[in-house]
Amino acid sequence: QTGPVIDMPVPASFNDITQDPSLENYIGWVWYEKEVLLPLRWLQDDLNTRVVLRFGSAHYYSIVWVNGVQVVEHEGGHLPFEADISSIIQGSPGIPCRITVALNNTLTPHTLPPGSIQYMNDKTRYPKNYFVQNIRFDFFNYAGIHRPVVLYTTPSVYIDDITVTTTSSESIAMVQYRVSVVGSTLYSLSLSLRDQEGKVVATGDGPAGELKILNPNLWWPYLMHENPGYRYSLEVKMQAQANGALLEDVYTLPVGIRTVHITSTQFLINGRPFYFHGVNKHEDADIRGKGLDWPLVMKDFNLLRWLGANSFRTSHYPYAEEIMDLCDAYGIVVIDECPGVGIKMLESFGNKSLQHHLLVMEELIRRDKNRPSVVMWSVANEPASELPPAAYYFKTVIAHTKALDPSRPVTFVTDANYALDHGAPYVDVICVNSYFSWYHDPGHLEVITLQLTTQFENWYKTYKKPIIQSEYGADSVPGLHSDPPLMFSEEYQKAMLEKYHSVFDKKRKEYVIGELIWNFADFMTNQGTTRVLGNKKGIFTRQRQPKSAAFVLRERYWKIANESSCLPPIIKSYTLFL
């Protein structure tokens, strides 16, 4: 023991829980420990039961011990990891199971996201061994065990993975499946696909095959269909003989039947043009930081529906599985982004960084590949893609991503000059961030129309690929008013949005396929002279109250939905989730 021991809730970031400023900005190792009593039947010497310890995520580097025995190490702050702990706990009934986690939030040039530790060696200005964590991204590097920790069991022969892809025509859909079983080569598999009424609509057997559904209910995005987010249930049942016993493992996977295609000017879902009118988000809130919080999650989904948003990007890291489940269920379309944010230093484009980036894409795709809401992978946000090594780096990451999942387009989000971007040739959709009249020509709303029009035309002329405005926006301090509009007032944020929207309306008739506001809600950042308790570009406050811009966006999004939808107007009213 090297320091004080305090109670710490899980899931939560540890930074904002106490009154201790040193914990708020702490960099280095912290230790979590908990003892749990397990059910007696888990603890018997049973060769046929596997006990697994699973973490939804922990930021950033984790080492886990059970009863003093190391069981798993994991690098990366936003994806799940687990360990089989059967051999450690079985045969010890009545003894508590002690789970110990060492967690380190240090970011280096080779982590994802990258960062660097800078030692301040001027002894006239800084104490001995004084250092700071430098990051090149604009959100607070919250740390802790951010998502649920669970213990669960399976038989010793178990279903390890399921991969589902779907195709459909007018009256027939095909569901292709692949099931991987671990623990034995002698097993049988049976599958049944049920609709939402519980009726079996298709059956299959064996580790790979195809299910055929007549007159399928397709998975449609919110506001594109009167019954969005339709999912079937695929029940996979495995039976195997092991150690003289019949073992059975059953897993039920929700399946949405939908297709995604892109042309040089359109993004098609189920063959129909889809226009992204949505948001960028953060997992961020008062006190809990990035910790999963169900009331907050439900509030955010209700606000998304109220807004008429049909989509969001998981800026700038994979979000909790619980959030993704709701996107599938409610028909909210997702651009699923890995933690590749702040890749700015030359050394972050080297082989060590690249190998880790490829591994992160494998983990992300394994987790989210079966989700109908996920229509595109994003491998990075605002990297220094004008650097020459970015060409090989992004060519490799994107090719690897497509090899893992050929069914979805791949992008990364750029703020580089169109003529200098070495990664753009490899993406399927151009995603551009720009802040005209904010970071460029601050205060000059009159330049937006020309600059934004030029931006779109240059990118399209060069690449002939559909374009999403993946970020745009302005900080506004709630309650700060100015007419004529001045920066940081609610009026300026509104005026900037309206200027952007007038250009979007022209270009969405051509090749612009989406607009994602930065940001859904205000969020915490590192302290700095341009940040007053965080980034204020939210259309909602950090406490989820609307600013004036939220009403501008709501009117716009419902208008776009009404124009593009074939639904009767009666359906197009916002209803609360029950």
Confidence of residue 3 (pLDDT cuts 50, 70, 90): confident
pLDDT at 103: 98
Contacts 24+ apart (CB under 8 A), 454-458: 455/418, 456/503, 456/507, 456/511, 456/512, 458/418, 458/419
Cβ burial, residue 570 (10 Å; 0-12/13-18/19+): exposed
Confidence of residue 577 (pLDDT cuts 50, 70, 90): very low
pLDDT at 567: 55
Give the tens place of pLDDT for each residue, 119-131: 999 999 999 999 9
pLDDT at 451: 98
pLDDT at 551: 98
Cα–Cα distance, 61 to 80 (Å, whole number): 12
What average pLDDT does this structure show over 258-281? Answer: 97
pLDDT at 565: 63
Give the tens place of pLDDT for each residue, 354-375: 999 999 999 999 999 999 999 9
pLDDT at 91: 83
The full length of the chain comes to 578
Residue 573 has pLDDT above 60, yes or no: no
What average pLDDT does this structure show over 410-439? Answer: 97
3-state SS record for 154-196: EECCEEEEEEEEEEECCCEEEEEEEEEEECCCCEEEEEEEECC
Give the tens place of pLDDT for each residue, 171-206: 999 999 999 999 999 999 999 999 999 999 999 999
pLDDT at 570: 38
What is the DSSP secondary structure assignment for residue 436, as one 8-state letter? B
Percentage of residues in the chain with pLDDT exceeding 90? 93
Whether 24 is a known active-site residue: answer: no
Cα–Cα distance, 25 to 36 (Å, whole number): 30
Mean pLDDT score of the chain: 95
pTM as predicted:
0.95
Q: Which of 382, 471, 490, 515 is the catalytic position?
A: 382
Contact 520, 539 (CB under 8 A): yes
What domains lie within the chain, and their CATH numbers? Answer: 21-154 (2.60.120.260), 155-255 (2.60.40.10)
What average pLDDT does this structure show over 146-152? Answer: 98
